[in-house]
Structure formats: C-alpha cells, structure tokens
Chain A
Amino acid sequence: MPVILVSSDSQEFKVDKEVAERSILIKNMLEDVGESDSPIPLPNVTATVLTKVIEYCEHHRNDPVQVPDETDDPRKRSNDIEEWDMKFMQVDQEMLFEIILAANYLDIKPLLDVGCKTVANIIKGKTPEEIRKAFNIVNDFTPEEEAQIKKENEWAEDR
C-alpha cells in the first residue's frame, strides 16, 4: 500500500508502507491516522534529503528491527559500517549533516547511527589541522594558548 510523503518544498514522494515505516515517526503517524490516504507532511525535510533517506529505507526495508542494546560498548560500534552504507554516505558534509538531522527527526535509528559513525570516522585518525580543514572550523586559540595545550597533550601524539 503506497504512502505519500510531502517534503518541506512541497514535493511528493510515493513509497511503500513497509519502507516508510522504517521511520518510527511516520509509523506512529500512520497508526494514528489509520487507513486514510492523505499525504504525510514532513516540514523539516527538504526534497533532496528526503530522496536520500527514502533510498536508504528502500535498501534496508527487510532489515530486522533493532532492539536497543543498553550494554553495547559504543567504542566497538564504529568499525562496522557495511559497504553499501559506506558508499551511501559518501556525500558532501552539508548533505551528511542534513541526513543526520532528518534521521533524527524521522526517528530512523540505524540511519542515525550510520551518520554519526561516519562523522566520527571523519574525526578519527586526523591531525587537528586536518579536522579543522574537513569541517571548515576557525581556530580561535591564540598561538600561545595553542602551544600550551599542545604541550600538555604531547602524549596523545604517540598513540
């Protein structure tokens, strides 16, 4: 049964119910609304981002719903992004953040996880200068402050 989603710029997307229900927000909405065919407005998601999100949900439509595991060690998780997801996330930074925010709004936990892990992977293994360049961050420390912090954290260079 198709569900119609409407992005913030009034573009309509027709998706299967199963695909749309990967988003807990939409799932709850559909339960509330019942069998009506009215389109679901998503005022916080633009069309380009919604396309990407729908693409993800389509690919993962058959995944089992994950039970949140409280005892999961968050440090372990960063390594295991599957290949398709990794390719999916090879977008520019702007889109990456938009996808994460959309996944947060639509409550699609696996997509949110993948997005956050991708950001973490950008940070990992880079020198501070490289991180600043990747995120366009202005270094607002004075040279003296920076030198002092660097000296205090010398030990981190070796690891």
Chain B
Amino acid sequence: MNAGVPTTSGLLSRQRASPYPRPAILASNAPDAPGHAKQRPRPLITHSRSGSASTTLTVVLPKEQVPVNDLVQLARKAFSLKDFVTAFHYLTRALTIAPKDINLLDSRAASLEKIGRLEDALADAKSMIRNQPQNPKGYLRAGKVLRLQQNFKSSAKIFIAGAERCDKENKEYEALREARVLDPMERLPFELVMVVFDSLSFTERVRCLIISKKWMAYLGSVRHFWHSIDLAKRIPSPVRTPRHALYLPAQPDQEPNNKVTNKTVLSLVKYTPPKVLRLGCAQQVSSGLLTQLSKMKRTTALETISLRTNTKIFEQELSLFWSTTPNLRCVDLHGCPGVTDTVVNSLLDRCPLLEELDISECRTTEACVMINYAVPLRSMRKLVFGRWEAPFAKEGIDALVSKFPNLVTLDIRTMRPRGIEALESLGRLVHLRHLFTDSVETTGDQTTTFVLQRWLEGIPDLESLQMNACKGVSDSMIQLIAAGHTETESGRRGWSHSLRMLDLSSSPYLTSEGLSFLRTHPLPSLHTLLLNKCGRVSEQGLRDVVASSGGELCRLECAGYRSVSDKLLMDIRDHCPKIEVLQLANSGQVTGIGLMALVNERGRGLERVCLDDCTTVGVDAVERARTVLGDSGRISHRFHRTHR
C-alpha cells in the first residue's frame, strides 16, 4: 500500500495475495498484509509520511520489480474508477522504470489534469515533446493543458508549432490540426466580434449565451444587443413585410407563447434597461413581472411594450406600471382583460409621447376616451381599438377624435359603433391615412353616403379604406371615392390620387355598375384591392376595375364569384404588370387556359395564386403552371366542402 495516501478505491483494499513481491516496508504497513512478503534487504525509501493526498512519493524500487505493463493495467483500472490519484502513483512507479516512455508520460499528464495539478501535467507534456519532438502526442497534450489553464494564445502557438514539426504520416497529426483554438472570441479583436454578432438576430445571440462563459460575458457586456428584447413568436419588422402585404391591416398575432415566463424576461433585462419588450402572446407572464421590472428600475428606457391575450396581468399593477415608463411610445395590450378604463386613463396621463396603442378586445368602454378628452394627446398616430360587446356611441367617437387629433391609422375592426352615423366625426381627422372598419351597422345607404361625404371633406389623403360587410356600401360610394363630390366648395376630387388599399368585401349592395364608374374615374395608385364575395358584383365590374386601375395593383382578392372566368385573368395579365397575389377561390368559370396565359406573362412577379374550389381548373393545368413558376410562385388548388 502506498503510505501517506488514503486508500480511496476498493480495488486496492481488496487486494489479497499479490503474486509479485512487494517492498518489505510497504507490506508490513498494510493492514491486510499477506504472509507472502519475503524478507529482503531494506530498500531505500524517501517519502514523507503526512496524511495528505498530495504527497509526492519517490520510491527507489528493489531489484525485483513490478513489470511496467502490470502497473499500466492497474493505473488504467484506477482511471476507470475515477481514482486518479492512485493511477498517478502507479504511473509514476512505471516511469521510474521507463522514464522516457511517451505513452506513460501522456497517461500521467492525463491523470494530473484530472486531479487539477496542471503545472505538473504541463511539465510532463513538455518532457514528452523533449523526448520525441516528432510525435504529435506531446503537443496535443501540452496544448490541451494550456487551454485548461485558459492560456489560449500559448495553446494555439503550441498546436501550430506541433503541426509544423511533426511528421505528417502520424495518424495523430490530424488530431493536432483539428485541435487549434478557433474560438472567434479569442482570435478576433472585439470590434470585429461585434460586427459578427450584430448581423445575428436577437434569438441567435441568446442561443450563443450558453456556448461558454467567455461568450456569455462578452455578449452580456455589449449593451446594444439587449436593447430590444423580442420574444414573440411572430417577428414583424418592416424589413420582412413582403410588398404585397404592405397595405393590409396588421394580422393578429394569436399564437400562445407559453415558454416565456416572468423569469425568462427578468433574466434578459438584467444586462441593460430595454427599449423594446415584445413578449407576443405570453400567457404565462403575470403581474409580478411588471412590479419586478419597476423595482429593478428596468423600465425607464422602455419605448415599446407588447403583451397580448394575457389574463394574468391585473388592473392595479398595470395602472402603477405607467408611472415608471415615461418614454413609452408603443403599447400593444390586445386581448388583456386586465386593461380597463382606469388603466387606459392612467396610461394616457403618464405617457405623453405615446404614438401607437392597441387596446382592442380589452375591457374598455367609451369612458376611457371621454374622461379628459379635452386634453388632446397629439403624439398619437396609430390606434387599434374596440370591443364587440361594448357598442360605441357617437359621443364616444367624438371624444376619441378630440383626444387624438393627429391620428394616422385607425383600426376599429373590433369595435361596434352604433351605426355608421356614429363615425361621422372621423372626418375631423385631418391626418388620417388608414381606416379599417368591419361590419358597421347602418340604417341605409343614404346615411353611409352622407358620412362618407363628411370624411371626404375632412380627410384629404386617405390611403387605405376598409369597410367590410357594411350594408351601406353602395355604388354611390364608389363614385364618391373616385370622383369626390363637387357640391361642396372644396370641390374635392375624392381619394383617387391617394387611395392605395380598398377593401369592400362582402358588401351586399355593391353592383357592377358602381365598379364600372371607375372606367371614367380610375384609381391609379391602387395597390391592394379586396372585393371578395359581393353578391351583386359580376365579372364585368371586376374587369372594369382591373382595366382602369390595375397599373399599380399588387394584390387582388376577388373570391366567390361564379361569373369570374378566363376573361378576367386575361385582363389581369394585360393591365396588372405588378401583380403578386391573386385570390380567386370559388371562381366559377376559370380554366387552365386563363391560368397559363397569366402565368406565362406575369409568372416572374407572381407570389401566390389561390384557386381553391375552382372546379373548372384542371389538375394538369395547375401542374403545368407550377412548373412554369418554378419555386418562386405558389399555386393553391385545394378543395373544401364549403357552401357559398
């Protein structure tokens, strides 16, 4: 037994009769000394008899020696049992017999590494290099130890030196070439590392946190990486919006984002107070997060916050939160029942820089704009507002217009105004560019026309108009939009010069005649036209629209017309050079001829053509069209069991 070393492994204590002679002094100290120990001249031993494990034991063995191979075997066994200290001692013994054996040195260096005695391991590795400068093993071991000592530069140098000096036939040479330090964080100066990380997205940077401590430390130290915390599943950014979706109202992000919890957010804001905090539909986040953020003083720089359909955030914490976020510009709290009138009032009071606000489907009523409507919030540009269960009266809209006089975008698709007359005062929004409504009730088309006239008088440059499913939409409305009405002093020319998006889908009283008016008074800037399922519109009307106003048309949706045939497709081919998206589902008479004609001419720009439920288009025609488009275009040709 090795005196001075506690026997940690069962292997050694279980050793019984060893067939090999042991040095007498050691045998006599062993508790279970077998009777085989022979008497022999006392060996020369120098060792210190302290009880610690880090004793170095130098033993000069007597002439009857343990063969090296057995020692190596024992050392290997000890290694596998993770008893590195014992392995070290065995190997040391072996090395006294064969001090220049490179493999023994390598194994000993390995065990020293594991014990933690890196300096000694390095010494061994250096002896390996001294003894056999052509063998890569020495360099590999030395480089590995240096790396463990965090000395990367020397490590890289040794690997390179090794690669140069070793003979290339050796199979270890490949390992040497592979083992260089290639961590960009080590090799490149910090400005360049920053350039590399700048071109990654936020998520990718977060994934890099776990790579190594050095990476985490570096990433954590660069503040501007953490200014914008974007955890939402949907990644909206102006860079990624395709051209054909430019004028569509924002598609709601409804996918629940359940992996985001309070802890997640708090762990990401620790680097710097964020400017943007987008959590998507994070339904596991609770009020505690807001309180914590305020306490940690992480809210002072906050400009954008987005948290949708979250039921765990409550009124009280929300109201208090705004007092710590004076710089807020964009707030998106769609679908959070914790957002009440009190919360909205508190927000409008405390955040004078507010520009965008989405509180649709929250628990708000008219009261939130009617209180304090005399103090306008001039910075407000974009408002998404309304809850179906809470109908909005005219007074509410008036108050809204007074409160936000500089609105540019108003999305009240989720609102139920008490009739279209309630929306009359929208005409006072001089800067309005985008107006989205849905299913507005109306008593008749005259009221609607009247309201539209008010709008035309007050709003000079409307770019988007959506009035889905409104019974009041009639042919006179098209005339007004395209030609204005010359009865008033202003002699407005309608919105023909500015209108880019028009959505009058599901208008039951719109007819082809109304659309034909556009032949003489076109809408030249029209980019997006949605006219799905208007019961009284026929193909002729659509053809007139396309022929007169198709010059800039990028997105056209006219699904659900039994009369639509190849003639319309030919017109699109002829008059719409910029067309990208076509929705022609349920078109009764479209065939492969029209499809091929369109695809052959406009195929390069086409992004999507939807021909679902078009029974008259053959499958082979669709295939041919798909081959023409190659990968760039997509044609949808599915069949559902829909009823019209």
Contacts and interface: CB of A to CB of B under 8 A. Distances in A.
B211 interface: yes
Contacts of A101: 187-189
Nearest to A101: B188
A136 B181 contact: yes
Given A124-B204, A139-B212, A155 B231 contact: yes
B207 A135 contact: no
Given A117-B199, A136-B182, A141-B210, A75 B264 contact: no
A119 B195 CA distance: 10
A159 B233 contact: yes
Contacts of A75: 198-199, 201, 239
A139 to B, nearest CB: 6
A23 to B, nearest CB: 17
B211 A131 contact: yes
A99 B216 CA distance: 26
A155 B182 contact: no
A139 B179 CA distance: 15
Contact of B182 (A77, A124, A135): A135
Interface in A121-137: 123-124, 127-128, 131-132, 134-137
B267 interface: yes
B209 A140 contact: no
Interface in B188-223: 188-189, 192, 195-201, 203-204, 206-213, 215-216
A128 B205 CA distance: 11
B183 interface: yes
B116 interface: no
Contacts of A100: 188, 192
B99 interface: no
B147 interface: yes
A128 B199 contact: no
Contacts of A149: 209-210, 216
B183 A136 contact: yes
A87 interface: no
A94 interface: yes
A116 B195 contact: yes
Interface stretch (B85-93, B255-263, B503-511): B255-263
A119 B178 contact: no
Contact of B207 (A93, A117, A156): A156
Select the residue from B196, B209, B264 with max chain A CB neighbours within 10 A. Answer: B196
A158 interface: yes
Q: Which of B178, B188, B195, B206 has the most CB of A within 10 A?
A: B195
Given A123-B204, A153-B207, A104 B199 contact: no
A94 B188 contact: no
Interface in B207-255: 207-213, 215-216, 231, 233, 235, 239
Contacts of A124: 200, 204
Interface string B543-583: 00000000000000000000000000000000000000000
Category for how many chain B residues contact A: 35 or more
Nearest to A127: B207
A76 B183 contact: no
Contact of B184 (A97, A139, A154): A97
Contacts of B182: 93-94, 97, 134-137
A147 to B, nearest CB: 10
B189 to A, nearest CB: 7
Contact of A116 (B178, B199, B264): B199
B180 interface: yes
B259 A116 contact: no
Given A97-B187, A123-B204, A152-B263, A116 B196 contact: yes
Contacts of A78: 199-200
B269 to A, nearest CB: 12
A139 B212 CA distance: 5
A157 B201 CA distance: 14
A150 B210 contact: yes
Q: Per DSSP, are chain A's interface residues mostly helix, strand or loop, or mixed?
A: helix
A43 interface: no
Contact of B196 (A73, A120, A134): A120
Most buried by A among B148, B209, B211, B263: B211
Most buried by B among A77, A128, A132, A159: A159
Contacts of A93: 180, 182
A132 B264 contact: no
A68 interface: no
B212 A141 contact: yes
A95 to B, nearest CB: 11
B188 A156 contact: no
Nearest to B230: A159
A137 B147 CA distance: 10
A153 B203 CA distance: 9
Contacts of B239: 73, 75-76
A34 B114 CA distance: 61
A112 interface: yes
B212 A132 contact: yes
A128 B211 CA distance: 6
A122 to B, nearest CB: 9
A119 B257 CA distance: 31
Given A132-B212, A136-B181, A141-B210, A104 B196 contact: no
B196 A123 contact: yes
Interface in B146-201: 147-148, 178-184, 187-189, 192, 195-201
A152 B199 contact: no
Given A93-B182, A155-B260, A159-B233, A104 B192 contact: yes
Contact of B259 (A112, A113, A158): A158
Nearest to A119: B196
Contacts of B235: 159
A74 interface: yes
A138 interface: yes
B263 A155 contact: no
A146 interface: yes
Given A97-B184, A158-B233, 7 more contacts: A73-B239, A116-B196, A119-B184, A123-B196, A124-B200, A136-B182, A155-B260
Q: Which 3 A/B pairs are nearest by Cβ-Cβ distance?
A: A155-B259, A78-B199, A93-B182
Interface of B: 147-148, 178-184, 187-189, 192, 195-201, 203-204, 206-213, 215-216, 231, 233, 235, 239, 257, 259-260, 263-264, 267
Interface of A: 73-78, 93-94, 97, 100-101, 104, 112-113, 116-117, 119-120, 123-124, 127-128, 131-132, 134-141, 146, 149-150, 152-159
16 contacts: A75-B239, A97-B187, A97-B188, A101-B187, A101-B189, A119-B188, A120-B197, A120-B200, A123-B196, A137-B211, A141-B213, A146-B210, A153-B210, A153-B267, A156-B203, A158-B259
